[in-house]
Amino acid sequence: MEHFVTSIALIGGVILIASLLSGLIDRSGFPLVSIFLLFGAVLGPWGFGILDIGFQSESLHVLAMLGLTLLLFSDAVTLDIKQLRARKALIWRMVGPGTVVPAIITLLAARMLLGLSWPAAAILGAALASTDPELLRTVVRSRLVPEAPRLALRIETGMNDVVLLPIVLLSMLLLPTASLEASAGPDRLHVGRTLLGLFVLGPVLGAVVGWVGISALVSIRTRVGVRRDYESLYALGLAFTSFALAEAAGGSGFVAAFVAGMLVAAKDVELCDCFFEYGEATAEMLLLLTFVALGTTLIWLGLRSLDWRMLLFAAIALIARPVALYPMLAGLKLERRDRRIIAAFGPRGLSSLLLALLPVFAGVAGSEQIFVLSSVVVLFSVVIHGGGTALFLRRAAPVGPVALDEPLPPLDRGGSSVSGASLQPPLRISIQELKALQSRGGDVVIADARKESAYDSDSVAAAGSVRLSPDDPVRDATALRLSKRANLVVYCA
Single residue among 363, 396, 429 that ends a domain in this structure: 396
| Cα separations in angstroms, 25 against 351, 400, 444 | 20, 19, 35
Supply the pLDDT for residue 98.
Answer: 92
Supply the pLDDT for residue 7.
Answer: 67
Residues 359 and 467 in one domain: no
The torsion angle over the Cα atoms of residues 84, 64, 137 and 459, rounded to 10 degrees, is 30
Residues 133 and 46 in one domain: yes
Supply the pLDDT for residue 103.
Answer: 96
Global confidence as pTM: 0.75
Residues 337 and 428 in one domain: no
Residues 110 and 158 in one domain: yes
Residues 390 and 434 in one domain: no
The answer as to whether 370 is a domain residue is: yes
Distance, CA of 59 to CA of 48 (rounded, Å)? 20
| Cα separations in angstroms, 226 against 236, 238, 392 | 15, 16, 43
Summarised one tens digit per residue, pLDDT across range 297-345 is: 999 999 988 999 999 999 999 999 999 999 999 888 888 999 999 999 8
Q: Cα angle vertex 75, ends 72, 79, to 5°?
A: 140
User: How many residues does the structure list for the chain?
Assistant: 493
Supply the pLDDT for residue 126.
Answer: 96
What is the extent of the structural domain holding 349? 2-186+271-396
Supply the pLDDT for residue 453.
Answer: 65
Residues 27 and 91 in one domain: yes
Residues 23 and 60 in one domain: yes
Scanning 249-366, the segments in alpha helix (DSSP H) are 253-267, 273-296, 308-328, 336-344, 350-361
* φ, ψ of residue 491 in degrees (nearest 5): -130, 150
Supply the pLDDT for residue 178.
Answer: 59
Give the domain CATH number at 426: 3.40.250
| CA neighbours closer than 13 Å in the CB half-sphere of residue 288 | 25
Residues of the chain with pLDDT under 70: 1-4, 6-7, 25-30, 178-191, 268, 270-276, 279, 396-427, 442, 453-454, 456-457, 493
Residues 344 and 474 in one domain: no
Supply the pLDDT for residue 421.
Answer: 39
Distance, CA of 120 to CA of 374 (rounded, Å)? 12
Give the domain CATH number at 151: 1.20.1530.20
Residues 375 and 478 in one domain: no
The answer as to whether 478 is a domain residue is: yes
| Helix (H) / strand (E) containing 466 | strand 466-467
Single residue among 396, 413, 435 that ends a domain in this structure: 396
Supply the pLDDT for residue 400.
Answer: 47
Single residue among 332, 361, 396 that ends a domain in this structure: 396
